[in-house]
Amino acid sequence: MKKLPIFFFLLFSSAAFSQKTDSIALSDLKLYPKKNSLPVRKPVLLLQPVQLDEASLDLKVNYWREWISFGINMNQAAFSDNWSGGGVNSIAIGTLINYKTDYTRGDKSYISEVILQYGKLKNRDQLQRKTNDRIFWDNKVALKLSKNWYFFGSLNFESQFDKGYSYSKTKTGEEVQTLISKFMSPGYLTESLGFEYKPGKSFSLRIGTGTARQTFVLDTALYRTNAKNFGVEPGKRMRNELAFQVVANYEKDIMENIHLKARYNMFANYEDLTTTDNRLDVTVTAKVNRLVNVTFTGIGIYDDDTSLKIQASQAIALGLVYKFPR
C-alpha cells in the first residue's frame, strides 16, 4: 500500500517537468533577428533615354472635337364641348438640332456651330402658326496672339425654313394671314475680321473692325406686304453694308444640372452710326434626368430695318434631348 503514494508523486512530477520543458522550447522559437543584422544591397538603376522613330510608332492625334444634340418637345391640350372653364384644343411641336465642332492645334483654331430650330402651333378653328424657325451657321478661324487675345476671321449665315405670316381678322371674324417673310427673304451673310478676347472657356468677345453683311430678299414682290423689306430697296435682291460688329458669347453650368448659354450681337453700319442693330439670345436648360430637359429661351431684337420697336420672344418647353458625346 505504501507504493501507491510514491506512484502518484512520480506521475505528477513527470507531468510538471514535461510542461516546463515544453514552455521553454516554445519560448526559444520566439527569437527574432536583430534589426539590420543582414546587409541589404540596393540595386542601382541606370535610366537612359531611347530615341524612337515617330513613323515606326504609327501614332495619330485627333485634334477635332464634336458635340451633337437633338431635341423634341410637344404640347397638347383638349377640352370637352361642355368644359366650364373655357379653353381651346391645341397641339404644338418643336424640334432642335445643335452641332458644334472644334479644331485646335497649337496657336490655330477653327470652330463651327450649326443651330436648326423649327416649331408649329395649331389651335382649333385657327390657322397654323410658327413657334420657332431659324437656320444659324457660324464659322470662325482664329490665331493666338497672346494669352487672352486672338486675331480672327468669321463667316456667318442666318435665315429661316418656312414662310412667316402676320394674322388679322375680317369684319366677319374670318382669320386672314399675310406673307411677311420666307426662306432667304430675309437671309443674312456676314463676313468679319478683327480681334477676339477670350480669358477662359466660358466667355469670349469678338470685335470685328472690318465687317461686311449682305441682306438677301430673293422674293422681289415681298415689299408689297412688308413695307420695310428688311432694308433692301424694292425690286432688288440684295443690300451690302460695311460695319463695326461686336459679338459676345457666354456658356457655362451656373448650377448643378442648369446650363446657361447667351449670345449678344451688335451691328453698327459705318454709313449711319446713330442706329445699331442688336440681338440677344438666352437659353437656360435644366436637366431633369438623362433624356428629359426643361428649356427656357428668350430673344430680344432691335433692327430698324424690320421694326422701330423692340421685338421679343420667349418660350418654355419640356422635351426629350439627346446629346452626343454624353
The pLDDT tens digits for 108-161 are 999 999 999 999 999 988 899 999 999 999 999 999 999 999 999 999 999 999
Judge contact between 206 and 152, C-beta under 8 A. yes
Give Cα 98 to chain centroid, integer Å.
8
CA-CA-CA-CA torsion sign (161, 227, 223, 187): negative
**pLDDT averaged over every residue in the chain:** 88
Section 97-118 average pLDDT: 96
The pLDDT tens digits for 278-325 are 999 999 999 999 889 999 999 999 999 999 999 999 988 889 998 888
How many residues does the structure list for the chain? 326
Distance CA 197, CA 249 (A): 11
- pTM, two decimals, is 0.80
Section 231-243 average pLDDT: 96
Q: pLDDT band for 28, please (50, 70, 90 cuts).
A: low
Distance CA 70, CA 42 (A): 61
Distance CA 161, CA 73 (A): 18
Q: What is the CATH number of domain 65-324?
A: 2.40.230
As a whole number of Å, the CA-based R_g of the chain is 39
20 vs 130, more confident: 130
Q: Where are the domains of the chain?
A: 65-324
The pLDDT tens digits for 49-71 are 877 776 667 778 889 999 999 99
Proportion of the chain above pLDDT 90, given as a percent: 68
Whether the per-residue pLDDT at 178 is higher than 60: the answer is yes
User: Which residue shows C-alpha cell 522550447?
Assistant: 25
Grid cell listed for 255: 448650377
Q: Alpha helices, DSSP H only, in 92-169?
A: none
Whether the per-residue pLDDT at 30 is higher than 90: the answer is no
Distance CA 17, CA 20 (A): 5
Q: pLDDT band for 40, please (50, 70, 90 cuts).
A: low
Burial class (CB in 10 A: 0-12, 13-18, 19+), 232: buried
